[in-house]
Amino acid sequence: MTVDTTKGYAEQSYGTINLRKYQVDAINFTLECLMGGKTPIIESPTGSGKTVISIISSILYAKKTGKRVLYLTRTNSQQDQILKELRILSGPLDFRAMALQGRSNLCPLYMEIEEESDFTLESLSKMCSSKKKRTKEKKEGGCYYYNGGISSDETRSYILKNMNSPEEIFETLRSRKICPYESLKFAMRDADLVVMPYANFVNSNMALTTLYNWRTSRENLVIIIDEAHNLPEIARQSNSLEITMNMINISEKEAVNFGDPEMQTGIHVSDFMETVRESLVELGRNLNENQGERRLMFREIFEEMSIYLKKSPQDVDYLVDALISFGAQVEDLKEEKGKVPMSHLKSLGEKLKFLQYAEYDRYICIISKKGEESVEAYCLDPSIVLEPLFKSASIHVSATLDPVWLYANMTGVQNYEFRSIRDVFPKSNLLVLYSGDLSTKYTEFNGEMVQAYADRIGDILSKNKRKTMVFFPSFNTMKLIGSKMQGTPHLIESQSMNQRDFQKLLNEYRETGLPILGVMGGRLSEGINMPGNLLEIEVIAGIPFPRPTIKQRALVSYYDMLYGSGWQYAFLFPAIIKVKQTMGRVIRTETDRGAVVLLDGRAEMLFPYIEAKLSTDINHDLELFFKNNT
Give how far Cα 530 sits from Cα of 62, 358, 375, 593, Å. Answer: 35, 45, 41, 11
**Strand, helix or coil for residue 254:** helix
| Shortest spacing between CB 61 and ligand SF4, in angstroms | 33
Is 110 a binding residue for ligand SF4 by CB under 6 A? The answer is: yes
Is 103 a binding residue for ligand SF4 by CB under 6 A? The answer is: yes
Q: Which of 163, 179, 196, 577 binds ligand SF4 (CB under 6 A)?
A: 179
Closest CB to ligand SF4 among residues 179, 345 = 179
Residue 34: other Cβ atoms inside 10 A = 25
Total residues at interface with ligand SF4 (CB under 6 A): 14
Is 170 a binding residue for ligand SF4 by CB under 6 A? The answer is: no
Q: Which of 86, 128, 231, 454 binds ligand SF4 (CB under 6 A)?
A: 128
Q: Which of 50, 126, 131, 593 binds ligand SF4 (CB under 6 A)?
A: 131
Q: Which stretch binds ligand SF4 (CB under 6 A): 125-133, 251-259, 582-590, 618-626?
A: 125-133
Is 185 a binding residue for ligand SF4 by CB under 6 A? The answer is: no
Closest CB to ligand SF4 among residues 177, 295 = 177
Residue 269 main-chain phi, psi, to 5 deg: -55, -40
Enumerate long-range contacts of 165-172, CB under 8 Å, 24 or more apart.
165/79, 165/80, 165/83, 165/99, 166/76, 166/79, 166/99, 166/100, 166/101, 166/105, 166/106, 169/106, 170/105, 170/106, 170/108
Name the pairing type of β-strands 267-268 and 262-264. antiparallel
The alpha carbon dihedral of 223, 229, 234, 237 has a sign of positive
Q: Which of 268, 228, 573, 584 is nearest to 418 (CA)?
A: 228
Site for ligand SF4 in 323-342 (CB under 6 A): none
Q: Which of 14, 29, 95, 145 binds ligand SF4 (CB under 6 A)?
A: 145
Q: At 137, which amino acid appears?
A: E
Closest CB to ligand SF4 among residues 132, 353 = 132
| Shortest spacing between CB 183 and ligand SF4, in angstroms | 9
Q: Which stretch binds ligand SF4 (CB under 6 A): 37-45, 107-115, 400-408, 581-589?
A: 107-115
Task: Please tell me the distance from the alpha carbon of residue 490 to that of residue 532, in angstroms, as a whole number.
Answer: 21
Q: Which of 41, 143, 202, 610 binds ligand SF4 (CB under 6 A)?
A: 143
Is 108 a binding residue for ligand SF4 by CB under 6 A? The answer is: yes
Q: Which stretch binds ligand SF4 (CB under 6 A): 102-110, 278-286, 421-429, 597-605?
A: 102-110
Task: Please tell me the distance from the alpha carbon of residue 15 to that of residue 2, in angstroms, as a whole number.
Answer: 29
Task: Please tell me the distance from the alpha carbon of residue 611 to that of residue 55, in angstroms, as a whole number.
Answer: 30
Is 132 a binding residue for ligand SF4 by CB under 6 A? The answer is: yes
| Shortest spacing between CB 143 and ligand SF4, in angstroms | 3
Task: Please tell me the distance from the alpha carbon of residue 291 to that of residue 585, in angstroms, as a whole number.
Answer: 33
Is 96 a binding residue for ligand SF4 by CB under 6 A? The answer is: no
Question: H/E element holding 368?
Answer: strand 363-370
Task: Please tell me the distance from the alpha carbon of residue 56 to that of residue 102, in angstroms, as a whole number.
Answer: 26
Task: Find all residues with CB under 8 Å of 149, minimum gap 6, and list them.
Answer: 155, 173, 176, 177, 178, 179, 183
Closest CB to ligand SF4 among residues 121, 605 = 121
| Shortest spacing between CB 112 and ligand SF4, in angstroms | 9
Is 574 a binding residue for ligand SF4 by CB under 6 A? The answer is: no
Task: Please tell me the distance from the alpha carbon of residue 170 to that of residue 163, in angstroms, as a whole number.
Answer: 13
| Shortest spacing between CB 211 and ligand SF4, in angstroms | 19
| Shortest spacing between CB 570 and ligand SF4, in angstroms | 41
Task: Please tell me the distance from the alpha carbon of residue 234 to that of residue 221, in angstroms, as a whole number.
Answer: 21
- SS3 of 300-341: HHHHHHHHHHCCCHHHHHHHHHHHHHHHHHHHHHHHHCCCCC
| Shortest spacing between CB 470 and ligand SF4, in angstroms | 46
Q: Which stretch binds ligand SF4 (CB under 6 A): 76-84, 124-132, 216-224, 621-629?
A: 124-132
Is 166 a binding residue for ligand SF4 by CB under 6 A? The answer is: no
Binding site for ligand SF4 (CB under 6 A): 103, 107-110, 128, 131-132, 143, 145-146, 179, 181-182
